[in-house]
């Protein structure tokens, strides 16, 4: 197996997975002034497949120079594969069950080289596959994970990964009660994953973390994204009964006391992706799950200050996003892919986003 390490493949791990029961909350309002909100047309909207209940996304560059866009389907318990350049549906993989190669509510998804990681909420595990054949390599986390959703990973040494999985277990008959504060130090679980020379999977549990103070605890965790250059994890808390935002942690699991700017989100903070620039700068892109249209907020990579916001013409009620920075045939400057209303995938040209928000050109050159 050839391990093709591409920055875009690593960024595909920044996906977020959403399915936690959301209690009633006040009606959502846009967090940005209408005059400041830009519109960027989607380059495509895929054919709708409402039966899937699509959730999270990842990309994988194929050996023939194309790019797959892979989505998790919570209701059909399978994966859907699209041509990332066109949105054409190519194939599906998987079925409901507990065996390797089967799924029970797949949510978060990430790619490292030719390895695909899929988080299963109701099988309480992370499965790993070899692409392009979806050969199951094993699973991990079933001894610790209770209700996992999102995943992000990074390479710490050649062939060795640090994997972070959000665990949004809830209590009560409707699973809408936040656990006691002292249990919220289990909101993110960490694993050390390795592959031997024969491709066999080994995973070791590295403990959990999460702030336990009432004002700043991670109440309902969903998406997670990381930035190794700045020792930063951004973790989405979706609980609008308190404050839905993304909170900043270090890779060691320490809460820094920072979150994205006050009242940055009008609805639920969802998918998050990092758009890096060659000069070391860049932007975080975070989803504001509004209706009738999703708003995508951009924040400075280093300072976390708001840079701008945009919406599409169609994309709504977005859960997962993934950013593919590498050039493709249709997107020479890269693309942002998003889930639309749980039933389709959409694509935005990063060059068009940069022009609309008057971003520095270095990120798309």
Q: Looking at per-residue confidence, does 120 or 27 come out higher?
A: 120
* Cα 337 from Cα 358, distance rounded (Å): 20
Rounded to 5 degrees, what are φ and ψ at 159? 80, 5
- Tokens read off for 186: 């289990």
DSSP state of 355: H
Residue 298: pLDDT over 50: yes
Residue 109: pLDDT over 50: yes
Task: Give the per-residue pLDDT at 74.
Answer: 98
- Enumerate the β-bridge partners of residue 163: 153, 191
Percentage of the chain modeled with pLDDT above 90: 82
* Cα 54 from Cα 281, distance rounded (Å): 31
Task: Give the per-residue pLDDT at 220.
Answer: 96
Residue 9: pLDDT over 80: no
Instruction: Quote the Cα angle for 284-290-295, to 5°.
Output: 35
Torsion sign across C-alpha atoms 166, 172, 174, 179: negative
Residue 14: pLDDT over 60: no
Structure-token match 């994204």, residue found: 225
Using pLDDT thresholds of 50, 70 and 90, give the confidence band for residue 290: confident
Task: Give the per-residue pLDDT at 33.
Answer: 61
Residue 236: pLDDT over 50: yes
**Terminal-to-terminal C-alpha distance of the chain:** 31
**Out of 112-126, 207-221, 256-270, least confident range:** 256-270
| Residues ≥6 apart with Cβ < 8 Å to 224 | 16, 150, 151, 152, 164, 166, 188, 233, 234, 235, 236, 272
DSSP state of 185: G
Task: Give the per-residue pLDDT at 262.
Answer: 79
Q: Looking at per-residue confidence, does 326 or 28 come out higher?
A: 326
- Tokens read off for 95: 């079925």
Task: Give the per-residue pLDDT at 198.
Answer: 78
Which of 342, 283, 348, 324 minimizes the C-alpha distance to 68? 324
Task: Give the per-residue pLDDT at 291.
Answer: 81
Task: Give the per-residue pLDDT at 333.
Answer: 95
Torsion sign across C-alpha atoms 310, 289, 305, 12: negative
Residue 131: pLDDT over 60: yes
Residue 23: pLDDT over 80: no
> What is the residue-averaged pLDDT of the chain?
91
Query: pLDDT tens for residues 32-62?
Result: 666 589 999 999 999 999 999 999 999 999 9
* Cα 164 from Cα 191, distance rounded (Å): 7
* Cα 238 from Cα 288, distance rounded (Å): 10
Task: Give the per-residue pLDDT at 86.
Answer: 98
Task: Give the per-residue pLDDT at 11.
Answer: 42
Task: Give the per-residue pLDDT at 81.
Answer: 98
In order of their start, the domains of the chain are 7-20+28-364 (2.120.10.30)
Residue 21: pLDDT over 80: no
Taking phi over 0 as left and psi of -120 to 50 as alpha, with beta for the rest, 101 belongs to left
Task: Give the per-residue pLDDT at 227.
Answer: 98
Task: Give the per-residue pLDDT at 233.
Answer: 98
Query: pLDDT tens for residues 92-105?
Result: 999 999 999 999 99
Structure-token match 């859960």, residue found: 319
Burial of residue 326 (CB within 10 Å: 0-12, 13-18, 19+) is: middle
Query: pLDDT tens for residues 58-84?
Result: 999 999 999 999 999 999 999 999 999
């Amino acid at each position: 197996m050839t391990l093709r390490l591409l920055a875009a493949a690593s960024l595909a791990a920044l996906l977020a997975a959403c399915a936690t029961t959301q209690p009633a909350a006040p009606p959502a309002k846009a967090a940005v002034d209408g005059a400041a909100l830009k519109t960027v047309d989607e380059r495509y909207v895929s054919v709708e497949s409402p039966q899937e209940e699509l959730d999270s996304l990842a990309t994988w560059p194929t050996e023939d120079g194309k790019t797959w866009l892979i989505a998790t389907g919570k209701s059909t318990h399978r994966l859907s594969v699209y041509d990332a350049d066109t949105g054409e549906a190519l194939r599906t993989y998987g079925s409901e069950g507990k065996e390797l190669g089967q799924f029970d509510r797949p949510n978060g998804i990430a790619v490292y080289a030719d390895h695909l990681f899929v988080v299963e909420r109701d099988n309480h595990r992370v499965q790993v596959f070899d692409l392009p054949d979806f050969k199951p390599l094993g699973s991990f986390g079933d001894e610790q994970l209770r209700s996992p959703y999102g995943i992000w990973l990074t390479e710490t040494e050649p062939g060795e990964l640090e994997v972070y999985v959000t665990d949004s277990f809830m209590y009560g008959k409707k699973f809408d009660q936040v656990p006691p504060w002292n249990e919220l130090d289990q909101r993110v679980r960490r694993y050390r994953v390795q592959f031997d020379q024969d491709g066999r999977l080994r995973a070791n549990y590295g403990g959990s973390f999460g702030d336990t103070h009432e004002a700043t605890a991670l109440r309902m965790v969903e998406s997670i994204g990381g930035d190794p250059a700045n020792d930063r994890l951004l973790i989405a808390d979706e609980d609008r009964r308190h404050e839905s935002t993304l909170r900043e942690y270090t890779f060691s699991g320490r809460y820094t006391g920072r979150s994205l700017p006050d009242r940055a989100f009008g609805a639920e903070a969802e998918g998050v992706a990092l758009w890096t620039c060659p000069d070391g700068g860049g932007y975080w892109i975070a989803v504001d799950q509004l209706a009738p249209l999703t708003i995508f907020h951009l924040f400075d990579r280093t300072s976390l200050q708001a840079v701008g916001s945009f919406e599409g013409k169609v994309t709504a009620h977005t859960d997962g996003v993934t950013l593919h920075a590498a050039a493709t045939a249709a997107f020479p400057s890269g693309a942002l892919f998003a889930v639309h209303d749980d039933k389709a995938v959409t694509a935005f040209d990063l060059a068009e986003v940069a022009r609309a928000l008057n971003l520095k050109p270095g990120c798309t050159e």
